[in-house]
Each structure stands twice: as C-alpha cells, then as structure tokens.
Chains A and B, each alone.
Chain A
C-alpha cells in the first residue's frame, strides 16, 4: 500500500506541475461548454422564442398580396417589415443588411392577378365536377414563384421550417381565394367573414409533451443536452495530459528503470488510473456545478441533475475509466509527445463526431450510424441522455454501461500487449 500511495503522490505531483495539461483538461472544456450551450440556446430561442426578422418587397397592389403579408405575420415566427416595391436583388440585400434581416421576400407584381385567376379556374373545375354550371373553365397556369432571399448563416433545418411556414401562408391565401370564388359562383354573394374564418382557420391545437422515463414533463433544453455531452468530451480530453505523461516516462527511460526495481509495474498502472480517474470525476463535478449554479448568470437554463444520483456516479466513473484507459493506450503506442497529443486530440474529435456529441446519432446514416457503436463516447452519451433527458435510472443505462465496460477492457488489454511488445513490463 505504501508503494501505491507513494506512486499516486508522484503522479499527482507530476500532474499538478503540468500547467498546460491542467488548462486543457479544465479551462478548455469549461469554456467550450459555456460557449456551445450559449450558441445552441440562442439557436433554440431563435426558432422557438425570438422572431426572425423578414423584409417583404411587395410589387403587387392586389388583395392577395396583402393577405399573404398578413398570413406571414400571423404565423408568429417572423417580425415583418415592408420595403417599397420593384427593388433589385442588390437593393433587397442592402435592405436585409440595414434591417439586420435573415430573410427577404419579393412578391411579384402579378401575384394577386395570378392567384385570382387560379382560384377561378379551380372553382370552375370544382363546379363542373359537381355537375353545376359555372364560368367557363380556363387553365390559369401556376402563380409566379415568390423569391426568398436568406442569410447564409441560417441552418438547413431552420430554412426548412421557414419554407414550411411560408407554404402554409401561401396555401391559406390561395385556398381563401378559391373558396370565395366558389361561394360567389354558387350563391352570387360574397362569402361571409364568419364562415370564411370558420372554414379556413385551423383550430385544432397540437399539444407537445416530452416523454420521460420518470414521468416528469420537463422540456429538455440546450443545457440538458450540452452539459453531459461536453463533460464526456472533457473527460476524454485528459489524453492531452495523461498520454503525454506516459510518453515522457517512456522516452526518459523511467519505465525502463522501474522495470529493474523489485515492484510490480501494475502498481504504476493502477496509480495512474486512480489519479486520472479522480481528475475525470473532478472535471464532471466542476462542469455539472457550473451548469447548476453559474449558467443562470449567463442567461442559460440551469442544469437539472437526474433523480438517480447513484446511476449518474456509476456512469461517470465508467466513462472516466474508459477515457483514462484510452489515454494510457495512446500514450503506450505513441513514439513522441507530439504524436500522442496530435493523434489524441484528432481521435477524440473524431470519436466525438461519430459518437453523436456533435451531430445526433439518430441523424446519421448507414456506415456512420454503425460506427457510432465503436465510439465509447456514444455509449457515455446515451447513458447520460437517458439520465438527464429521459429521467432514466440505473436499470435503464445498464445496456449502455456494458458496451462501455467492454471497450474499456479491450483498451486495457491492448495497453498490456503494447507494454509487453515494447518490453516495458
């Protein structure tokens, strides 16, 4: 025990004197988690709470165009401002910059005329199909397209949402005109507002309910998503200190000297794992604490810890052990500290990508979806999401812990073989 304690003391001293390593292990992930959560929270609010600024250049003087602008405004997603009609593309771009708008729409000058013509054509076809006499049916052709300019920083998913919203506004305008035309053809009277409102307005509400394992109805937010994910990233980033430390010991010849001493090398490996496992626990504690107590000061939602704290501790320990095993493994095989740091950093980013830390695993396709299974970060993340987002308990994360445990054992085995092959043990 004295040997183990002395070795742990040595490892802690070496660690504490590695200022750059400490900076990379603690400061960088903390900055990362704050910045990424902030950005994602802004995106989340952009879509869900804040209104997107939009400018409309209406070149049409008809009713349909006015109705379309009202319909767009009514969606509630946009802050609408209008500019004078007949502007060029560059004038629209300038107007977007001036008004800090994300979108610009040009309504063509013949929009109302084309919408009316199409409405008459469709209603005529409808009457004919009912066996009634209407105006002679002429094919009106399609309405000229609306042109939508957008700021390139808008992500695809946001643009798709916007497109869907604009389509429903257009649909509303065209349906209204068709309905009015149809009503007039049958009754030779204008469609009453109350009836029009009843027919066109969709009053069926959509209730969105998050499904959690513990039955709570808390809506997940950017904090709940990001803090666990970047905690895992931080834990694996200890490779920058631990991998380099292993290489330094190899290169300096300390490993060789230790091999001549009457102590089992296992003591050294156990000490390193205990020391750095404690570091990963500390990282998790620090990042979770920041999520709970500091995030609200940045205007971010506070982190809610899972109810099953034991499960959280177990997942964090296994995740940390896996991160430590990976770092030691890389350190054993790297020839130089530069190799360990370079390969370590790049491999962590790749494992994070395929593990779903940067893009959700469910959004991946084919090979990458299967490749996620070999990333230990994937299993860590699934376990954390189960606890943090779904209110899961220990029994719900066992299926994530087992593969993580197996990956850890495989890494330990590879490390042992590497040390043997290099004649270090």
Chain B
C-alpha cells in the first residue's frame, strides 16, 4: 500500500520582492498523511514563509505544493477546505465571544449553521471554554485566547492542521492541554504540521521533524532516527548541533 502524502512540495523557489527575507531554491518536502510533523529552525530560517506557501498565503515562483493531491494556488478552491491554520497571532475578533467567533469562522470555512452549532459545543467543552462561551474574548487570559485561536482553526475538522507556535505564552497546564488535544486530533486522522521554539514540548508531540535554516531543509526524518544518526540525546541538542549557537536575527 502506497503511503499517501498529506503534503508534497516539489522544487519550489520563492523570494520576497527585493530579495528582502528568506529565499527558497528548489526546495522539496514530503509529509505523510496522518503524521505529527514538526518544522523547526532558528529565527528567520523560513518556517513561517514555508507555512505561508503551504497555506496559499504566498505563491511560489516555481514548483508546486500539493495538499492531499490538490495543488495549492493563489485562487481559493476546495484545497482550502482541506486544512486548518492556527497562526501565532490571535487572529480573531476580540470584540466577539468564542461562540460568535466560531459562528463567523465556521461559516467562512464552509459549514452550515447546524454543524457550526454542534462543533462549537464540542470544541468549547473539550477546550474548557464553555463557562465563558458568551463573554467577549478581549477579557480573556492569554491561555484562553490561545484555546479560542485553536478552536477556530479546527472547527471544520480539517485533514491537515498547520500550527504556528500554538502554545507560546501560555502556562504549563494550558500548554499540556493543547498538546493533548492535538495528539487526540491526530489519532482521529488529522495530519499536524507544527512549528515552535519550545523544543521540549515539540519532542513530546512530533514523530517526524525537519530542520530548516537559511531557506534550506538541513535534516528531515523520524525524530528518533535523527537523534540516533546525529548522536544527540534530545531535540534541543540536535537543533543546536545542526544550526549552531550564534545569534540569529
């Protein structure tokens, strides 16, 4: 049986206007369906740019990106239904309640009213937001806002979920709860593509990892295989061994 790819990036090149920022040259990356995949690298390595390319926020100059066999293009299409995106910023309406945010983003994700209501109830219960479901999000703590951010990204049960530092700035309890929920999602078939600087936490979540630096994939494999082949004990040591210890801007 052929292992179907969730993400198939082949030969993409990309540079920002005026070559301002990271540049990709002929980059390839494959992520298996159902994987818990971590993309790591120092600041400015190209993680966010690569996620922006995979989610169609940016368009590659050459090459192609396919999600579950469907090409990501500049034009929106059925491919946008396949994935969810949890950005690092709190990308929702702070004036609205969690229910109102989920209603709006659910509709934009292509769900009908009934499904939105069902999913809203489910998600708010799972993520512990039921008691504050009708309160304005602007009064929430950072951890609660992170959970709202996550709920919006998964309301339409996406096959692939892109997570850009989903636990940054939260307490240990919230971080643990989010990671547990992500593992639960993955068990139900969702492919996770995760980036973070919190490598201890990442080690508990990701089975496959890729290290990116200067717009190049410098290592990619199962985490255990990579640690073994580079003779490192954990992800942080592996990261420093491959990307160096000097400051990055």
Q: Which A residues fall within an 8 A CB radius of B?
A: 2-3, 6-7, 9-10, 13-14, 17-18, 249, 252-254, 256-264, 267, 423
B76 on the A face (CB < 8 A): yes
B174 CB, min distance to chain A CBs, angstroms: 20
Q: Is the CB of B112 within 8 A of A258?
A: no
Q: Which of B81, B91, B94 is within 8 Å of A256, CB to CB?
A: B91
Q: A264 and B76: CB pair below 8 A?
A: yes
Do the beta carbons of A10 and B93 come within 8 Å of each other? yes
B103: contacting residue among A6, A18, A260, CB under 8 A: A6
Across the interface, do A261 and B89 meet the contact criterion of CB distance under 8 Å?
A: no
* B87 in contact (CB, < 8 A): yes
* Structural contact, A13 and B96, CB atoms closer than 8 A: yes
Please, which residues of chain B bring their CB within 8 A of the CB of A13? Answer: 95-96, 100
When the two chains form their complex, are residues A3 and B107 in contact, meaning their CB atoms are under 8 A apart?
Answer: yes
- B230 CB–A CB distance under 8 Å: no
> Can you list 17 contacts pairing A with B, beta carbon distance less than 8 Å?
A3-B107, A3-B108, A6-B103, A6-B107, A10-B93, A13-B100, A14-B96, A17-B96, A249-B93, A252-B92, A252-B94, A254-B92, A257-B152, A258-B108, A259-B56, A261-B105, A261-B108
Q: Which residue of B76, B105, B107 contacts A257 across the interface (Cβ within 8 Å)? A: B105
Measured in the bound complex, the distance between the Cα atoms of B81 and A423 in whole Å is 20
Q: For B57, give its contact among A9, A254, A260, A267 (CB under 8 Å).
A: A260
The 8 Å CB contact of B87, one of A9, A10, A18, A253, is: A253
What A residues does B136 contact at CB under 8 A?
Answer: 17
The complex places the Cα of A14 from the Cα of B93 at a distance, in Å, of 8
Provide the residues of chain A in CB contact with B80, threshold 8 Å: 260-262
Chain B residues bordering chain A, tally (CB within 8 A): 32
Q: Give the top 8 A-B pairs by smallest Cβ distance, nearest first.
A: A253-B91, A262-B80, A6-B107, A253-B89, A257-B91, A17-B95, A10-B104, A261-B108
The distance from the CB of B20 to the nearest CB of chain A, in whole angstroms, is 14
CA distance in complex: A262, B110 (Å): 7
Report if B77 contacts A (CB, 8 A).
Answer: yes
Interface string of B141-154 (1 = CB under 8 A from A): 00000000000100
- In angstroms, Cα B107 to Cα A79, docked, is 72
Which residue of A has the minimal Cβ distance to B54? A260
Complex interface: chain B residues within 8 A of A258 (CB): 108
New A-B pairs, 14, CB < 8 Å, besides A18-B95, A253-B90: A7-B108, A10-B93, A10-B104, A14-B96, A17-B95, A254-B91, A257-B85, A257-B92, A257-B152, A258-B108, A259-B57, A260-B56, A262-B78, A263-B107
Is B190 part of the contact surface with A, judged by Cβ < 8 Å? no
What 0/1 readout, one digit per residue, does chain B (180-201) give for beta carbons within 8 Å of chain A?
Answer: 0000000000000000000000
**Distance in angstroms between the alpha carbons of A86 and B166 in the assembled complex:** 89
B95 with A14: CB separation less than 8 A: yes
Tell whether B109 is near chain A: CB-to-CB under 8 Å: yes
B168 at the interface (CB under 8 A from A): no
Provide the residues of chain B in CB contact with A261, threshold 8 Å: 76, 80, 105, 108-110
A154 to B152, CA, bound (A): 63
Q: How far is the CA of A10 from the CA of B93 in the complex (A)?
A: 9
A14 proximity list for chain B (CB < 8 A): 93, 95-96
Residues of chain A lying within 8 A (CB to CB) of residue B105: 257, 261
* Complex contacts, A252 vs chain B, CB 8 Å: 89-94
Give complex CA distance A14, B103 in Å.
14
User: How many Å from the CB of B229 to the closest CB on chain A?
Assistant: 35
- Considering only CB atoms, which chain B residue lies closest to A245 in the complex? B95
Residues on A with C-beta less than 8 A from B49 are: none
Say yes or no for B239: interface residue by CB 8 A criterion.
no
Contacts of A257 in B (CB 8 A): 85, 87, 91-92, 105, 152
Q: Which residues of A contact B89 (CB under 8 A)?
A: 252-253
- The answer, among B83, B110, B152, for a CB contact under 8 Å with A263, is B110
B55 is an interface residue with CB less than 8 A from chain A = yes
Chain B residue with the shortest CB-CB distance to A258: B108
Q: In the complex, what's the smallest C-beta–C-beta distance from A25 to chain B, in angstroms?
A: 16
A32 to B58, CA, bound (A): 47
Residue in B96, B104, B109, B152 whose Cβ sees the most chain A Cβ within 10 Å? B104
Contact between chains at A256 and B77 (CB < 8 Å) = no
B30 touches A (CB below 8 Å) = no
A10 lies within 8 A of B91 (CB): no
B231 within 8 A of A: no
- Docked CA distance A267–B76 (Å): 13
B56-85 contact mask (Cβ, 8 Å, vs A): 1 or 0: 111000000000000000001110110101
**Nearest chain B CB to A324's CB is how many angstroms away?**
19
